[in-house]
Structure 1
Amino acid sequence: MTIRLNREANREVNSEAVTDVTKNRPRLWVSETRQSLSQELHNRPSVQMATCSTVSHIAVRINQDQRGKEFQQLCTLCARYNAPPPELDACCYYQHFTGFEIRWERHLEFSSYTFIRKGVSEALFDSFAIEFVPQQWFDSLVGELVSAVNLVLSDEPFSDTSLFQAFENYQVFGSTVASGRANVFTSFRVHSDGFSRVYIQSSALNTYQAGRLVQRLLEIETYQMMALLSLPIAKALSADVAQIEQRLVAINQSMASTKDADDGEMLSALSHLANQTEQILADISYRFSATDAYYELVCSRITQLKEQELNHKERLSEFVTRRLGPGVKTCQALTRRLDALTCRIERASGLLRTRVDLSIEQQNQKLLAAINRRGEVQLRLQQIVEGVSIVAIVYYSMSLLDYVLNALASVDLALDKTLVKGISVPVLLLSTWLAMRLLLRAIKKHTH
């Protein structure tokens, strides 16, 4: 009894000591940004899966306007199975329903639903986890279905004949993955039930490894479909881009043979081509960038599988490289064509603008030359007018001088009128010319 009391007393003392130490520790204020970023790292945890399980996975492409209806549909499913609904702003939801588990995840462009059920049927792909969900709920799903996969995880091996029949006589691709601990088989086809099919045979994976492997395979199927969304767009735009290229070639050829009068029309045509090209680039920029990102994710997930050859079957990575790779490269090639086309249009526009600028400069030089000639003519006319004006002034001055001399003769001053007039003419000419020069100089100085 004494020993027990002593232990309890020591426990109380230690608790008080820990409390005192905790009180003395500094506490940091955690911002909302830090808290949200830390939480983001722990979103979408990996599933732990039993060795014998069936999985049904669907991915639905949804825009922002459809998010509210999607949330309501998920809440409807939760209510059907008496399960708590997700939070309004949740980006993922994991819940055990009666007979199966559901994992809902919201991504930037799509949402995924994964249904997991323990146990497998005797015949491969004879039953699926999605069978517990009512068809009416699937019919009301909002958005565009991008991917649908039925996956079976079992430790029972099947013969090639059984696999061939289970995959509805399609070619079966297979690999040994997870460092030899599992075999994966798939056809990469959409089967008669509308689902792709994947079979994992393994007895060496623990629950965590099995969950990670299943997640990678489902992501490969979903991301490769998302990556291929750009391919129909690229094929549809190839003809339009080819027409723009042909029109640009025609404009470049006509630039060497047309007259300057057509430069304005060609500049207008180049501007129209530039607008078309920029509009196409603006329309496809996001979609094609997303394709590159999804393709990188697919390649990353394939690498994480650590594939090895299995019974001379074509590996999953070989199929992705041979089939998905060219589709992605087609989109990348179209982007490069548009970028090159933009540069070519800019060069052609620059050359044509230089040609127009040179033409305008030549016209300006001709105009300046004409103005200079007109100025020279006006200067000569001005000089002639000045000369005539001087003569006129001298003429009228001599007339006034004649009146003066007649007046002086009336008072009997002996002056020789002819001599006086003869001497006065050069004096009047010189003085009038000097006066005109001084007047013009004063006017020029005032104007400047």
Structure 2
Amino acid sequence: MTQMPKLQFQAEYKEIMSEAHSRPPFDIPENHNVFYLAFSCTQVTAQHVRMLIDSKAKDSGYRHVIGKLDGWVAKYELHTEFISLYLLVENTLSKEDVLVRLANKIDFDLLEINLAIWLQVASTKKEFRKIFSDWSVFYGGGLREGGEVRATLAPDDAGFIDFVVLKGSAKEFTLGRRIQRLIELETYRVMTLKGLPLARSRATELSKLEKKLESISANMNTVAHGEGEKSEAVFKELCALSNKANHMQSGSRFRYSASRAYFDLVEQRIDWFDEKKIGGLHMLSAFVSSRLKPAIDTIESMGKRQQDLVDDVARVFALLRTRIELNVGKDNQDILRSMSERHDQQVKISQTVEGLSAIAITYYAVGLVSYFLKVFAKEEIVPISHGMMTALSIPIVFGLVILGLRHMRSKWH
């Protein structure tokens, strides 16, 4: 029998394939509640929490671990920004009891808690109503298979968000999946809102930068051609404004993008939740949507304003650069014009000097020629006087001098 060849998969193959099966829900048996924490911590602390659940999960590559923690079924999940810890605890325990026992295993001072949920599961309507009877404000609705949900959506004195779910006729696995989606909905809601304080804190500073840009743009219109010092001052102000705008944008880009991504996840969970309205009770999904949409609009609006500011600064930079280049071009034209005028002056001076030089050379050359002509005058070889011969030689010598100077100048050029 021919042996099947072994395939060479990409390095991330197992991680990619296992992602679809990660974060499996709990089976929720009778008489159990869910204790949930979403937190941030150092890698060392995360490793400690992982190994409490599974001693083999020492490597940071373990993103999802299911096991036992102090006798409870526990699930550890590593997300991009936070870690989630699910505990399945007996309904005879309160959240205070669970916290006390966990404090013996985990140092809570090392955790930065993003969300804490205490979710109770009721088997009967009587038990269900009894749990939320003393809640002053709550939201909820009907679920599939006769289930119902109620939630405070506001932290109690210990910082926990309280939920209670009526299981109805749902099986253990179905109930576990429903509760996991419910917890994910609240987790992603809280993570979405993490961008809101940042957006609000940037509003005042952003308004100042926008007014500063408006002022710089106005100053550019008052700077006349040739005022180099004022242009340099405007350029320095614009550079400082650009640095601030880009620093603000880079410092909030991730948070705003993350809030948008979490909001999309919230909407997915709401669609999946399929909550039904019960009487005049404000539905949980409707409350989340109505309160979360203005928050994400504020976050996105602030992100757009920051991007618009960066783009506007870039456009003003381009305008100032074009203006400077035009000014430089005009200055260069003035310099070239001045150089051309100087060249014309130098040509005229050169021509004048050349003429004077020709006269001077002719003067000395005629003097030499006169000595030569004296010989002919004494011997009376030519019937013309010495003075007449000297006079007649002047134009000839001058012409030869001019021709010689022009010939030399043509060689120089």
The residue number in structure 2 matching 1:350 is: 318
| Partners of 2:301 and 2:289 in 1: CA distance | 17
The residue number in structure 2 matching 1:440 is: 409
1:246 to 193, 211, 236: 211
Find out whether 1:109 has 2:81 as its counterpart: yes
C-alpha deviation, 1:264, in angstroms: 1.0
1:275 to 230, 243, 265: 243
C-alpha deviation, 1:52, in angstroms: 4.2
Pair 160,52 (structure 1): closer, same or farther in 2 beyond 3 Å = closer
Find out whether 1:226 has 2:194 as its counterpart: no
Q: What is the identity, as a one-letter code, of the residue corresponding to 1:242?
A: S
| Partners of 1:192 and 1:409 in 2: CA distance | 138
Find out whether 1:137 has 2:105 as its counterpart: yes
The residue number in structure 2 matching 1:312 is: 280
Q: Deviations over 1:256-281 (max 9, x none)?
A: 22333311110111111111111111
The residue number in structure 1 matching 2:256 is: 288
Query: SS of 1:137's equivalent?
Result: coil
Native 8 Å contact 2:47 2:58 kept in 1:
no
| Partners of 2:388 and 2:345 in 1: CA distance | 40
Aligned pair count reads 407
After TM superposition, the structure 1 stretch with the greater mean CA deviation from structure 2, 255-264 or 291-300, is: 255-264
Q: Deviations over 1:363-416 (max 9, x none)?
A: 111111111111111111111111111111111111112111223334453442
C-alpha deviation, 1:247, in angstroms: 0.5
Find out whether 1:44 has 2:23 as its counterpart: yes
Find out whether 1:418 has 2:387 as its counterpart: yes
| Partners of 2:158 and 2:198 in 1: CA distance | 28
C-alpha deviation, 1:295, in angstroms: 1.2
| Partners of 2:124 and 2:130 in 1: CA distance | 12
Query: SS of 2:121's equivalent?
Result: strand
Across the aligned residues of Structure 1 and Structure 2, the Cα RMSD in angstroms comes to 2.4
Pair 131,360 (structure 1): closer, same or farther in 2 beyond 3 Å = closer
The residue number in structure 1 matching 2:13 is: 34
Native 8 Å contact 1:52 1:153 kept in 2:
yes
1:370 to 308, 319, 338: 338
Pair 164,69 (structure 1): closer, same or farther in 2 beyond 3 Å = closer
> Structure 1, unaligned stretches of length 5 or more?
1-22
| Partners of 1:409 and 1:290 in 2: CA distance | 115
Pair 157,25 (structure 1): closer, same or farther in 2 beyond 3 Å = farther
Query: SS of 2:222's equivalent?
Result: coil
Q: Deviations over 1:116-141 (max 9, x none)?
A: 135x46xxx96678368343435445
The residue number in structure 1 matching 2:38 is: 59
Native 8 Å contact 2:132 2:150 kept in 1:
no
| Partners of 1:85 and 1:188 in 2: CA distance | 37
Q: What is the identity, as a one-letter code, of the residue corresponding to 2:80?
A: L
Q: Deviations over 1:289-343 (max 9, x none)?
A: 1111111111111111012211221112221122222222222111100111111
Find out whether 1:95 has 2:95 as its counterpart: no
Pair 413,26 (structure 1): closer, same or farther in 2 beyond 3 Å = same
Native 8 Å contact 2:192 2:259 kept in 1:
yes
Pair 136,151 (structure 1): closer, same or farther in 2 beyond 3 Å = same
| Partners of 1:368 and 1:277 in 2: CA distance | 41
Native 8 Å contact 2:49 2:106 kept in 1:
no
1:199 to 164, 170, 179: 164
After TM superposition, the structure 1 stretch with the greater mean CA deviation from structure 2, 153-162 or 289-298, is: 153-162
2:309 to 341, 344, 356: 341
Pair 181,415 (structure 1): closer, same or farther in 2 beyond 3 Å = farther
Pair 337,387 (structure 1): closer, same or farther in 2 beyond 3 Å = same
1:360 to 328, 350, 371: 328
Q: Sequence identity of aligned pairs in percent?
A: 23
> Structure 2, unaligned stretches of length 5 or more?
none
Native 8 Å contact 2:74 2:86 kept in 1:
yes
Query: SS of 1:281's equivalent?
Result: helix
| Partners of 2:8 and 2:30 in 1: CA distance | 41
2:291 to 301, 323, 329: 323
Find out whether 1:383 has 2:354 as its counterpart: no
Q: What is the identity, as a one-letter code, of the residue corresponding to 1:306?
A: D
The residue number in structure 1 matching 2:142 is: 176
Query: SS of 2:105's equivalent?
Result: helix
Query: SS of 1:256's equivalent?
Result: helix
| TM-score, normalised relative to structure 1 | 0.84
Q: What is the identity, as a one-letter code, of the residue corresponding to 1:215?
A: Q
| TM-score, normalised relative to structure 2 | 0.91
1:68 to 44, 47, 52: 44
